[in-house]
Amino acid sequence: MESLFREGQRFQEYILLEKLPQGDFSEVWKAQSGYGKCLVCIKFFFCDFSHLQRQKTKLLEPCHPYLVKFLKLDFEYEIPYLIMPFMDKGNLKSLLHSNMCSEKALEIIRFILLALVCLHSQNIVHGSIKEENVLFQSPYNIYLSDWGWNTSPETLPSKDMVDLGNIIEKLILRCMSRNQHPKDMPALLLLKQLQEKSPFYPDAMAMLEDLHQGQRKIYQPAEDRFCLASSGEKIQAFSLDAFLLGSIFFIYSMPMPLSIALFLLYFLFLEGILGMTLGKKLLGLEICRKTEEKVDLGLALWRIILFYCALPFCFFFLLRKKSLNWHDRIAGTVVRKKTS
């Protein structure tokens, strides 16, 4: 579409300096006051918003730290326009593609929600929340802009009044992709109170509800990684115990040199599987769940005591007894030969 204006052109008391990326229904210019160095942003609309002129005073009223202050607007002018302060740090769209930490994402969500609370308290519907409408004047000054003129509470369907598009969804997914503990998770839950439906994926919303009810933490502390083994898991564990105890007596029943060799292999086998994932699961050091891995502390201690203390002691005791009997047999054979 051909531009409505050109650089250097004067519009009222402002001089147009640079054309900015335009929206679907507007052309945006960076401008400077002809009376000073004040930079502003002028948005010229392609659509007819004259029906909202009666809400002009209402749209100029909101005053909140996270709402852009409209300096001037006129929907009945030959080209409807809006003037607001120029934000030199861009919008959220560019920030979403940068390396933004989860704490920053949560902070932005909180700012957006607090701004919405202010608007809703004055019966104003934003109607167009998207990345381009979250502006930055500095890394710590965040503003929500462009509210109220796309729709009005009287004509907007209720399902659209609560639609936040995908902006919050992108931010919450950014939070979930990091293993950090957010400081202001209740700000996210405020969203569900403000809206009649969830803009999140079902799994993400379930996670937030669990957080709110204290049923889940962002990270699992050490004390939360212990659990009780199920009956089936205990049966499997003790079946393994019986098998290994039986193997001790089987090794004991073998001839003396072979018993020592088999026991060394047996102990190396235990050492080997303790260092493997499968071995850890079999020994009860890690009990797998469908959702997460937890440890039955009692069963794990029993495994360690059994395999590292009880079984070796039992085997060496039996082996010593067997070696004495074997020594006695050798000594008896020698005595009989000498006697004969």
Q: Which of 36, 61, 85 is the last residue of a domain?
A: 85
The string of pLDDT tens digits covering residues 184-235 is 445 555 555 554 445 444 555 555 555 555 554 433 333 444 455 566 666 7
Top-confidence residue, 95 or 299: 95
- Residue 211 in any domain: the answer is yes
Element (H, E) at 300: helix 297-305
Co-location of 206 and 282 in the same domain: no
Co-location of 315 and 234 in the same domain: yes
194: nearest Cα among 115, 102, 305 = 115
CB 199 within 8 A of CB 165: yes
Domain region containing 232: 224-339
- Residue 189 in any domain: the answer is yes
What DSSP assignment string belongs to 263-289?
HHHHHHHHHHHHTSHHHHHHTTSSEE-
C-alpha triplet 31, 94, 30: angle, nearest 5°: 5
Co-location of 214 and 107 in the same domain: yes
Top-confidence residue, 225 or 138: 138
Please give the structure tokens belonging to residue 237. 């564990």
Predicted model pTM: 0.44
- Residue 1 in any domain: the answer is no
Element (H, E) at 320: helix 311-339
Co-location of 38 and 99 in the same domain: no
Co-location of 231 and 323 in the same domain: yes
Count CB atoms within 10 A of the CB of residue 311.
20
Backbone phi, psi, residue 33, to 5°: -65, 135
Q: Which of 184, 203, 218 is the last residue of a domain?
A: 218
Cα–Cα dist 3/6, whole Å: 7
- Lowest-pLDDT range of 15-24, 105-114, 265-274, 286-295: 286-295
- Residue 27 in any domain: the answer is yes
Count: domains in the chain: 3
The string of pLDDT tens digits covering residues 143-157 is 888 766 544 444 444
**Would you place residue 166 in the very low, low, confident or very high pLDDT band (cuts 50, 70, 90)?**
low
Co-location of 119 and 197 in the same domain: yes
Give percent above pLDDT 70 in the chain: 33
Q: What is the pLDDT of residue 209?
A: 56
Co-location of 133 and 96 in the same domain: yes
Going across the sheet that includes 81-85, the strands are 10-11, 14-20, 26-33, 39-45, 81-85, 72-74
Co-location of 74 and 130 in the same domain: no
Mean pLDDT, the chain, rounded, equals: 64
C-alpha triplet 224, 225, 228: angle, nearest 5°: 100
- Residue 46 in any domain: the answer is yes
CB 42 within 8 A of CB 28: yes
Cα–Cα dist 101/177, whole Å: 10
Q: What is the pLDDT of residue 21?
A: 74
Co-location of 127 and 156 in the same domain: yes
Cα–Cα dist 113/45, whole Å: 27
**Above 80 in pLDDT, residue 27?**
yes
Give percent above pLDDT 90 in the chain: 0
Residue 207: give its domain's CATH number.
Answer: 1.10.510
CB 115 within 8 A of CB 64: yes
Q: Which amino acid does the sequence have at 68?
A: V
Residue 80: give its domain's CATH number.
Answer: 3.30.200.20
Co-location of 68 and 125 in the same domain: no
**Above 70 in pLDDT, residue 11?**
yes
Q: Which amino acid does the sequence have at 11?
A: F
The string of pLDDT tens digits covering residues 61-90 is 667 778 888 888 777 777 888 888 888 777
- Residue 53 in any domain: the answer is yes
- Residue 3 in any domain: the answer is no
Co-location of 135 and 104 in the same domain: yes
- Residue 2 in any domain: the answer is no
Q: What is the DSSP letter of 225?
A: G
Cα–Cα dist 250/262, whole Å: 10
Co-location of 124 and 19 in the same domain: no
Q: Which of 30, 59, 85 is the last residue of a domain?
A: 85
Cα–Cα dist 71/89, whole Å: 19
161: nearest Cα among 126, 112, 130, 189 = 126
